[in-house]
Structure 1
Amino acid sequence: MSIFDLAPAAIILPLLAAGLNFTLYRRPTAQRLISLIAIIVVLALESTLLIASWGSGPVSISLGGWAAPFGIVLVVDQLSSLMLVVSSVVSLAVLVYATGQGLADGDDDAPISVFYPTYLVLLAGVSNAFLAGDLFNLYVGFEILLTASYVLLTMSGTAPRIRAGVTYTVVSVISSLLFLMSIGMIYAAVGTVNMADIAAKVPELPPGTQLQLHLMLLVAFGIKAAVFPLSLWLPDSYPTAPAPVTAVFAGLLTKVGVYAIIRTETLLFPDSRVDDLLTWVAILTLVVGILGALTQGDIKRTLSFILISHIGYMIWGIALATPRGMMAVVFYVAHHIVIQTSLFMVIGLIERRGGSANMDRLAGMARIAPILGILYFVPAMNLGGIPPFSGFIGKVGLIEASVEVGSWQAYAMAGVGVFVSLLTLMTLARIWNRVFWRKPEHAEFPDPILLATDENGNYGIHTSGESDAESRRYRGRDVKLLPGSMLGSTIGLVAVGAAITLVAGPLFAFSDQAAENLTNPEIYIQEVLGDNAPDFAGDSAEAADDAAPGTADVPEPADAPGTADAAPAENGGRE
């Protein structure tokens, strides 16, 4: 038995833990413990899969005793194993963060708790999407995570969250319908939903049919990835959710869409290129996203627009359609999941300590909570692309890939990428200056909490002698302190983001292996289909013989010794 045979446990364990949590709905302490244990076990398993996939090709696992292309197939390769590990790392950090918030806010008094089982269902859906080897199973993974996200987004039932949930639900349903229609059309065209089998049969379709199917999948996945102009729903949906939910949504959900686009471009339709379209999508996503961020006053909305903008960096690498470009994309996706999640966790702490996430109301946080200044500064500089952080390394990789291509489109994306990186840094620096260094009395609408001073004239409510899990009231307002688990989990994830810089070399080497497999889809097809796979070696040899000068137009006698026609067919027409 191979370690890869345990890959389905990454989906099954969270679902089993979620079912157990539903039966323990009146015991939140048991729910927390079960959820933490489940994610830790899954993370250990996925880390083992990551190590095992280092230096190897894709490995397929057929479920239910049905071989591909008829049965359900899960596929583990460098890209999927890396996404699994990164998603579990941020999910674990956010779960600890949410646990601390729940304990501090007295959620134990709630008669029914749905957060923990729903959170585990979300993680199972994400894992299923990353491992899916057929389009319908990928659709199921999307629906699992989207159903869970509806519940998480509307928790507490406030009017803004319900409104945001309605928008999110409508957009997600439209995307799912487009995806399901695409699956039906692909099945009608090639008679299969197995991705490896589709990849083998798509070249036989007319170019127009290929383009139609290709574009339908891109639109469906583009909505989920929040690329322009399919991203207008995101800034109104994510910021209204509770802080832990916003953090995990921002880090993970859009990347599942990016992952699906990568599979579409490298496996399903590698020869039906839409590079020019993706080039313009990347440029517009980069520019529109960052321009939207510059106009915002709320920090969470600002980061939501920055999130959209940085999806453009990932589409940039995909549009280049080269191994070096794909290598940079794999690295940048892993980096961005960690950094974006940690930034939203920090903003949740700022909102809790300062009473608001609006820059017009926040000021002087460097005195009130200096540790939050450090926790914000590190991932902000990383996201802004300041050397030597991993954000800088990933963007340099994209620029190098563009220079290697050398086309005007590639140079255009590189120029826009550098410009947007500067604007990102400026936007994040504006938050830093206004929230942490401005004096409270200089804020346009200062919060009374921030204007309060102690006997020495220092701003802010000081908390010496009080428990981190407590809160006290000032002038009729709640002043919430920072629970140790919320702070600790944020510190841990910020440290993980910084550590990516230290392991950038090995991570780039791993991303290079992933890119090599992605840009050679026949490796994936051969592993999944086995004996049913096309003879790529023979096809390549025949193509080479047909292209050989002086042979194609000169027929040889069938019985002439040493001619190409006398060679066995299984050797590709050569001796």
Structure 2
Amino acid sequence: MTALVALPVLLPLMAAGLSLAFGRFADIQRVLGLVVLGAIIVNAALLLYVADVHGPIVLQLGGWPAPLGITLIADRLAALLLLVSSVVTFAVLIYSIGQRVADYGRGTSSTTFHPIYLMLCAGVSLAYLTGDLFNLFVAFEIMLSSSYVLITRRTTATRVRPGMTYTIVSLTSSILFLTVIALVYAATGTVNLADLAQRVSELPDGLQSSLGLLMTIVFGVKAAMVPLHFWLPDSYPNAPAPITAVFAGLLTKVGIYAMIRTQTLVFQHESTWQLMLAIALLTMIVGALGALAQDDLNRMLSFLLVSHIGYMLFGLGVYDIAGLTGVILYVVHHITVQATLFLVSGLITRHTGTVALSRMGGLAKAAPLVAVLFSIPALTLSGVPPFSGFVAKLALLQAGVDAGTWAAYGVAGGAVLTSLLTLYAVARVWSRAFWGRPQEPAGDPDPSDELVVGTGTTSPAMMVASGVLAATSVLIAVAAGPLADISGRAAVDLMHGETYRTAVLGGGAGG
């Protein structure tokens, strides 16, 4: 059973090598990617079941016991996020094949897209499953190296500047992360998370706070929390729709996951985290106001992504079981809904030939299915009942009220205001893009290039992939009860880390 922990990392890495070897055979690359990502979904579901019923599954690589060796561990939180993320990567790959983002209109597939995409998936899996800080750094570097290639493929003059911004910010945060790891190792003599849980608590309070703050900054950059968010609205909108979707759905959430894991297991807090509550409120409001100021559809969605990171920081700031339960629910919901919105944005762009809301119109009549596919994630993100966004936000608001502090009350009020601003923002998209007078497609598309927007056509694979993710967000709402139960048990594990520590340091499964 412990082999299941390694497969989500090993399978895409091995498949990436095979995909590169079969670079001249587009169909083999496509089938290989879909089969591997489908297998990871099944594997993640098994990991979640076993971790929920029997406790964390631990694999000590090379037979070296912790904290000396490399540890992979799948607990409830890691397995749950791995499952949801795998569904998203599978759907996005289907969309990419349908859009031919891997081919750019050529007769044969590019030799790079599929291997790099699989490498990105391996990095995401490793980030969830690793049990030490250094391999968490390795996971981020795998993701970032892959994302550098994906975000700059078919580079044009308009993409150079945002691509460089993304690269420079990512490298800077990586250098800072490596520096923090060195400081932690110098202070404790270990980078194993389970071992750090005990050793960090023995450090002087000032040193603990300093290391914890530095770690928050590192992951805050990767999660795009305000004021460290400046790079995201410029970088993400310039990539093709499926690339932006997987970035928005996963990369920022991996940053949130790393923040949750380290701040609950290693740098623990005794009560409400006031600083995080302040950052959460600032992130919500700044992101929402930024979205309202945009005419570019993708930039607007990028600012909404930043805004809703604030909800996850809100639950972490409350810092109790209820708050962490709300965080987990919100991360699960947001992974699917944000990816869906960017995929649907690609469908809208295909029909209108522009990302400018002021130049759109009439899509409700011209493309009614696209209108449905947009309305589901838009209402979900806004927190309209009975969708999954409402369930997750309600859990966070209840946790904020139960915390009983003025800071928590203030952030809860800000969360309600942000939901209203989000609803207004997506309503603007609906009124401009789907209602009103139809506009002529912008530009003069080349029918030989299936990536060119404004063709007024979309492939069935693009529609199916968007529909799968939209249906997944609805399924999350339908399964809100069992999902909340699993999230609650995962939150208990986070607040009381004995299960995690016993599983890792004991070399077996914890109860």
| TM > 0.5 | yes
For residues 347-496 of structure 1, the aligned pairs below 5 Å read 347-440=345-438, 446-448=439-441, 471=447, 479-496=455-472
- Distance apart, 1:524 and its partner CA: 1.2
Q: Is the 8 A contact 1:375 1:494 kept in 2?
A: yes
Which of these residues, 194, 211, 214, is aligned with residue 196 of structure 1?
Answer: 194
Change (3 A) 1:111 1:519: closer
Q: Which amino acid aligns with 2:206?
A: G
- Distance apart, 1:53 and its partner CA: 1.6
SS at match of 1:7: helix
User: 1:138 and 1:499 mapped to 2: Cα distance?
Assistant: 31
User: 1:252 and 1:20 mapped to 2: Cα distance?
Assistant: 24
SS at match of 1:231: coil
Q: Is the 8 A contact 1:196 1:267 kept in 2?
A: yes
Q: Which amino acid aligns with 2:210?
A: Q
Which structure 1 residue ranges, 5 or more long, are not aligned? 441-445, 451-469, 533-575
SS at match of 2:59: strand
- Distance apart, 1:358 and its partner CA: 1.0
Change (3 A) 1:19 1:273: farther
Partner of 1:547: none
- Distance apart, 1:104 and its partner CA: 11
SS at match of 1:313: helix
Partner of 1:179: 177
Which of these residues, 318, 327, 330, is aligned with residue 332 of structure 1?
Answer: 330
1:162 aligned onto 2:155 = no
Q: Which amino acid aligns with 1:380?
A: A
Which of these residues, 525, 545, 549, is aligned with residue 501 of structure 2?
Answer: 525
Q: Is the 8 A contact 2:96 2:102 kept in 1?
A: no
User: 1:531 and 1:385 mapped to 2: Cα distance?
Assistant: 42
Q: Is the 8 A contact 1:471 1:480 kept in 2?
A: no
Q: Is the 8 A contact 2:351 2:453 kept in 1?
A: no
For residues 6-405 of structure 1, the aligned pairs below 5 Å read 6-102=4-100, 107-109=105-107, 112-271=110-269, 275-405=273-403
Q: Which amino acid aligns with 2:470?
A: V
Which structure 2 residue ranges, 5 or more long, are not aligned? none
User: 2:100 and 2:127 mapped to 1: Cα distance?
Assistant: 29
User: 2:253 and 2:216 mapped to 1: Cα distance?
Assistant: 14
SS at match of 1:479: coil
Q: Is the 8 A contact 1:472 1:478 kept in 2?
A: no
Matched residue pairs, number?
A: 506
Q: Is the 8 A contact 2:51 2:79 kept in 1?
A: yes
Partner of 2:484: 508
Deviations 1:194-243 (A, max 9, x none): 01111111111101111111111110000000000000000000000011
CA RMSD of aligned residues (A): 2.2
Q: Which amino acid aligns with 1:518?
A: L
- Distance apart, 1:447 and its partner CA: 3.4
- Distance apart, 1:272 and its partner CA: 7.2
Q: Is the 8 A contact 2:58 2:71 kept in 1?
A: yes
Change (3 A) 1:71 1:105: closer
SS at match of 1:75: strand
User: 2:23 and 2:490 mapped to 1: Cα distance?
Assistant: 42
Q: Is the 8 A contact 2:382 2:422 kept in 1?
A: yes
Q: Is the 8 A contact 2:354 2:441 kept in 1?
A: no
- Distance apart, 1:59 and its partner CA: 2.7
Q: Is the 8 A contact 2:103 2:109 kept in 1?
A: no
Q: Which amino acid aligns with 2:249?
A: G
Q: Is the 8 A contact 2:351 2:441 kept in 1?
A: no
User: 1:272 and 1:16 mapped to 2: Cα distance?
Assistant: 44
User: 1:174 and 1:273 mapped to 2: Cα distance?
Assistant: 32
Change (3 A) 1:117 1:224: same
- Distance apart, 1:499 and its partner CA: 1.1
Q: Which amino acid aligns with 1:301?
A: R
Q: Which amino acid aligns with 1:156?
A: R
Deviations 1:251-274 (A, max 9, x none): 000000000110121101114778
User: 1:205 and 1:361 mapped to 2: Cα distance?
Assistant: 59
- Distance apart, 1:105 and its partner CA: 7.0
Q: Is the 8 A contact 2:166 2:231 kept in 1?
A: yes
Q: Is the 8 A contact 1:286 1:311 kept in 2?
A: yes
- Distance apart, 1:165 and its partner CA: 1.4
Q: Report 1 or 2 for greater relative contact order, CA contacts < 8 Å, sequence distance ≥ 6.
A: 2
User: 1:531 and 1:33 mapped to 2: Cα distance?
Assistant: 37
- Distance apart, 1:139 and its partner CA: 0.4
- Distance apart, 1:382 and its partner CA: 0.6
- Distance apart, 1:405 and its partner CA: 0.9
Partner of 1:567: none
Deviations 1:454-485 (A, max 9, x none): xxxxxxxxxxxxxxxx9599xx9962411011
Q: Which amino acid aligns with 1:37?
A: V
- Distance apart, 1:110 and its partner CA: 5.1
Change (3 A) 1:307 1:222: same
Q: Given the two structures, how large is their TM-score scaled by the length of structure 2? A: 0.95
Q: Is the 8 A contact 1:327 1:512 kept in 2?
A: yes
- Distance apart, 1:504 and its partner CA: 0.4
User: 1:87 and 1:479 mapped to 2: Cα distance?
Assistant: 31
Q: Is the 8 A contact 2:352 2:441 kept in 1?
A: no
Q: Given the two structures, how large is their TM-score scaled by the length of structure 1? A: 0.85
Q: Is the 8 A contact 1:57 1:517 kept in 2?
A: no
Q: Is the 8 A contact 1:104 1:483 kept in 2?
A: no
User: 2:369 and 2:499 mapped to 1: Cα distance?
Assistant: 48
User: 2:235 and 2:347 mapped to 1: Cα distance?
Assistant: 20
Change (3 A) 1:278 1:31: same
Q: Is the 8 A contact 1:94 1:248 kept in 2?
A: yes
Change (3 A) 1:526 1:369: same
Deviates more, 1:157-166 or 1:292-301: 157-166
Among all aligned residue pairs of Structure 1 and Structure 2, give the percentage whose two residues are the same amino acid.
47
Deviates more, 1:112-121 or 1:305-314: 112-121
Q: Is the 8 A contact 2:40 2:86 kept in 1?
A: yes
